[in-house]
Amino acid sequence: MAAAESALQQEVRSLYSDHHGWLQGWLRRRLGNAFDAADLAHDVFLRLLARREPVGMKEPRAYLSSVARGLVIDHWRRRELEQAWLETLAQMPEATAPSPEQRLLILEALVEIDRMLDTLKPAVRTAFLLAQFDGLSCREIGERLGVSLATAERYVAKALRACYAFRFEA
């Protein structure tokens, strides 16, 4: 185990020294700002350190950019959630607005829920959202999605199980 950790740390150290500057520039071009690029470049290498085994990659820049691409997608999704949350807060009467601490907790919960929903197949996610936000019945969901009532029920049940599992993991 210690040898594997050492090999992993050595690999990440080498990748960092050889490619960090390139990766940060790559991210800066995609994000449009150096601060977010620096944060995400850091996160790429943290992800690599979290692995159990060295990757032994032949194309390190392709691998690093692949990991970074996923983090960029997460970054933009989080920004969209933050913006939607800020718009919701702006519409709330000041007396009912949550405290700054509560705002942060709610935003973090929204990000986690978004991540959980992203693990679902698109039809399952759509069925769940139609049930929760539009208040549609399983029969209406089945009609909207062009599937049977039983399939719509399975989709909603699967999403609910994922929510319960998420609730108890967090």
Using CA atoms, how far apart are residues 71 and 69, in angstroms rounded to an integer? Answer: 5
H-helix segments, the chain: 2-31, 34-50, 60-91, 100-118, 122-133, 138-145, 149-169
pLDDT at 1 over 60: no
Q: Judge if 20 and 48 occupy the same domain.
A: yes
Percentage of residues in the chain having pLDDT higher than 90: 48
Q: Judge if 49 and 11 occupy the same domain.
A: yes
Residue 118 lies in a domain: yes
Give per-residue pLDDT as tens, 31-88: 999 999 999 999 999 998 888 777 777 888 999 999 999 999 989 988 998 898 888 8
Considering only residues 77 and 150, tell me which one the structure prediction assigns the higher pLDDT: 150
Residue 87 lies in a domain: no
Q: What is the mean pLDDT of the chain?
A: 88
Q: Judge if 10 and 78 occupy the same domain.
A: yes
Q: Judge if 13 and 53 occupy the same domain.
A: yes
Report the pLDDT averaged over residues 122-144.
94
Q: How confident is the model at residue 137 (pLDDT cuts 50, 70, 90)?
A: very high
Q: How confident is the model at residue 123 (pLDDT cuts 50, 70, 90)?
A: very high
Q: Judge if 110 and 154 occupy the same domain.
A: yes
The predicted structure's pLDDT at residue 166? 75
Residue 49 lies in a domain: yes
**pTM of the predicted model as reported, rounded to 2 decimal places:** 0.67
Q: Judge if 27 and 74 occupy the same domain.
A: yes
The predicted structure's pLDDT at residue 128? 94
| Both tokens assigned to 153 | 């029920």
Q: In this structure, which amino acid lies at residue 58?
A: K
In whole angstroms, what separates CA 107 from the centre of its chain? 13
The predicted structure's pLDDT at residue 74? 87
Residue 21 lies in a domain: yes
